[in-house]
Amino acid sequence: MDISIIVPVYNSAKYLTKCLDSILKALDNFVGHGEILLVDNNSPDESYSIMKKYQKEHPEIIFLDKQMTPGAAATRNYGAKKARGKYIWFVDADDTITEDSISELMQVAKEKKADLVMMGMKRIFPDGHSDYLSAVCPNQTNYKSRFVRYGLGPVQVLIRRTWWQKHDFKFREGIIHEDMELMSALILFTDNYTCVDKPLYNYFQNPESVLHKSSWDPHYFDIFSALSGLYARFDEAGAVRDYYCELEWFFIWNLLIDSARDFGKFKEGKNGFKRSREMLKQYFPNWRKNKFLRKKPLKLRAKVILNYYK
């Protein structure tokens, strides 16, 4: 088995057919063997019947139905445990992949004997406009520094399964931002890294997703435990000193730009600004001097300062 595509599923009936059709088409264009693992996390909508229908029609689809902790982390962990492919790729049920994606990724992975292959990603917004998130490539200056700062998601990398198992990587279950705690640290554990800088993944900005809710969710505060977990991974690897400025910038961006948007939308989130200040004082007391922050436009730097004192 060359590749295992792991698709976590929860309330994805609106998007699942389009997602599965894109994966099946990509597998048809791939000269090799692949499987699709559909991991259902107790979906109350029509996702179950869609998955069973596809499983009946396509022998490469395996349906995994198991009671587990709510959230994408548990489904990804379970899928990775059951996967048989030399490589694994996590694909979200509300996204799609291009028809040549598997062929291109697997070709590069085998040629380079890579543990990680990062790809470019097309980000598509509800109004139809899109932008491109490029891959971090090893021919770029200080590519590991870029990788740590990038904040990529699990969908943007092809992963050698035995390498993933060797290091016992897992997403922390029971929180959102679970990928943030892990993904930037992956580069610490390999030099066998390469990229395909093409938009092979279509990332739809789903307004109904867990990170785009219109009402307050206490899990928005999971950002703090996720960032603490990321710092701990670097600390355990003895890499905090080498990547201090990168981690500092990662904290600044996620606390004072990204999460600040969520905190500011809801009255329940106001305490998040205080907690952000406390976290920065604890980990990075001189964050205002961060070299990456100082290179940013004045408007963004001003926004960061305002969110810090908000």
User: Between 244-253 and 222-236, two packed helices, what is the crossing angle to 10 degrees?
Assistant: 170
Pairwise CA distance, residues 32 & 281, whole Å = 52
Q: Calculate the alpha carbon distances from 44 to 48, 49, 78, 213, 221 in Å.
A: 8, 11, 19, 18, 26
Same domain, 244 and 186: no
Using the 3D structure, point to which of 181, 204, 227 is the last residue of a domain. Answer: 204
The mean-pLDDT minimum among 74-83, 209-218, 219-228, 267-276 falls in 209-218
Rounded to an integer, the average pLDDT of 62-70 is 81
Per-residue pLDDT tens for 11-23? 999 999 999 999 9
Per-residue pLDDT tens for 153-177? 999 999 999 999 999 999 999 899 9
Does residue 209 form part of some domain? no
Q: What is the dihedral of CA 62, 210, 212, 38, to 10 degrees?
A: 0
* Domains contained in the chain, number: 2
pLDDT at 207: 67
Same domain, 175 and 305: no
Same domain, 222 and 200: no
Look up the domain containing 96 and give its range: 3-204
Q: Is 237 helix (H, G, I), strand (E, B) or coil?
A: coil
pLDDT tier at 208, thresholds 50, 70, 90: low
Same domain, 197 and 227: no
Q: Calculate the alpha carbon distances from 97 to 52, 122, 198, 201, 244 in Å.
A: 21, 10, 12, 5, 35
Model confidence at 58: pLDDT above 60: yes
